[in-house]
Amino acid sequence: MSESRRNAPHIAIPVPHSGDREEDREYAARALPSYEEAVRGAGGEPVRIELDQTPAQVMKQIERCDAVLLPGSRADVDPKKYGAKRHEKTAPADPKRDAVDELLLQDAYKMRKPVLGICYGLQSVNVYRAGTLVQDINSTNVDSKINHSAGRTVAKAHTVKIEPESKLAEIVGATKAVAVNSSHHQSADAAGNGLRVVARSTEDGIIEALEGTAPGHFVLAVQWHPERSVNDGPEVAESAHAIFRAFIEAARAKHAELAAASAVIESKATRVRGDFNGLFGNVLCLSHEDTCVDHEGRTVTLQEGMTLTAFDEDADEHGNRDNIIASGTVEPSPEWLRCRGSRWILRIDENGVRHESDLTSQR
């Protein structure tokens, strides 16, 4: 991986749909790469979040991500979640996707990580924020001449009018209606807490975009599919590229913020909570745990690339350099150490080994 790619902001993207049916697997396999390619094209690094993981496994992945992209799905959000009776045209819910989305959004709102929702992703964000949905557009807008379910083969399905004072208008530079594709039968109804409507279908008023109202927290959700438009003609591609660029820039800023926060912690004497399993060549095997404790007793989450100084836990003075066991860069434990129950290693700096340590150096 190149240095620029290694430093790219990491974008968590759940697999669009779970299920054992062939059409479910085919949809997920076909849909997901376009989101990943759009993220890479804008300078981000997609992180695929599988839906069959435990909540703990999901959290391990997403805590190291800088932003969240919620893609489309073949499912519909369960109407029970927003207090509605199921419409006959509402598709079955996908509980695994719903559970992962909720974990992603909990983390994003807690850490103020950027969020981009696309199609079903918009609906997922809105319901998470206690908003409601129109369960079937065609049943409520019977006079509309727009085919909101036009699908991926129609590059331009209709236009949307964007609120001029919105973040979305700033992103796409919209002074008039913007052309979009369309592939949905549901839409937002009442906007959720901390969200506002910033775009509607020009012809029939269907809500087409929401954005967050909290200052400094990038939250944008669009009902169309910009990931499909990035390779189409300029009429639809320009706004699509602009959306992904803005999202990745927000993720890049969050990445820098998180790195700066880690640097402040790392600049202080830090000791590891847990067992030292020994020195193995040029690495110190830390432990199976995912946290360390700084000299003031604050818990710090271990992350790849973090610089760390490990002090002897049994020493009376943890800040005394004579008690340093090793210092270096935190990395995931290789296979040959995972068998010993260790999740992380400390790749030791050239002059970072305390040679008089009673730990045994071995391979």
Per-residue pLDDT tens digits for 51-69: 999 998 999 899 889 999 9
Give the mean model confidence (pLDDT) for residues 303-328.
67
pLDDT score recorded for residue 360: 38
Distances (CA, A) of 38 to 32, 62, 129, 225: 10, 19, 26, 11
Provide the pLDDT confidence category of residue 361 given band limits of 50, 70 and 90.
Answer: very low
pLDDT in tens, 154-189: 999 999 999 999 999 999 997 778 999 999 999 999
pLDDT score recorded for residue 226: 97
pLDDT score recorded for residue 202: 93
Q: What pTM did the predictor assign? A: 0.74
Cα–Cα distance for residue pair 148/161, rounded to 1 Å: 15
Average pLDDT, the chain: 85
pLDDT: is 115 or 294 the higher one? 115
pLDDT in tens, 233-260: 999 999 999 999 999 999 999 998 887 7
| Domain definitions of the chain by residue range | 3-259, 268-348
For residue 270, pLDDT over 60 is answered with no
Structure tokens belonging to residue 332: 């995931």
Q: Which of 135-149, 167-181, 201-215, 276-290: highest mean pLDDT?
A: 201-215
**Catalytic residue positions?**
119, 225, 227
Query: 3-259: what CATH class?
Result: alpha beta
Task: Indicate the helix (H) or strand (E) that contains 266.
Answer: helix 234-266
pLDDT score recorded for residue 310: 73
Question: Is 315 buried (19+), middle (13-18) or exposed (0-12) by CB count in 10 A?
Answer: middle
Give the mean model confidence (pLDDT) for residues 324-353.
74
pLDDT: is 281 or 328 the higher one? 328
CB 180 within 8 A of CB 156: yes
pLDDT in tens, 3-52: 456 679 999 999 999 977 888 888 889 999 999 999 999 999 999 999 99
Cα–Cα distance for residue pair 345/284, rounded to 1 Å: 6
pLDDT score recorded for residue 265: 52
Q: Which of 45-59, 120-134, 326-340: highest mean pLDDT?
A: 120-134
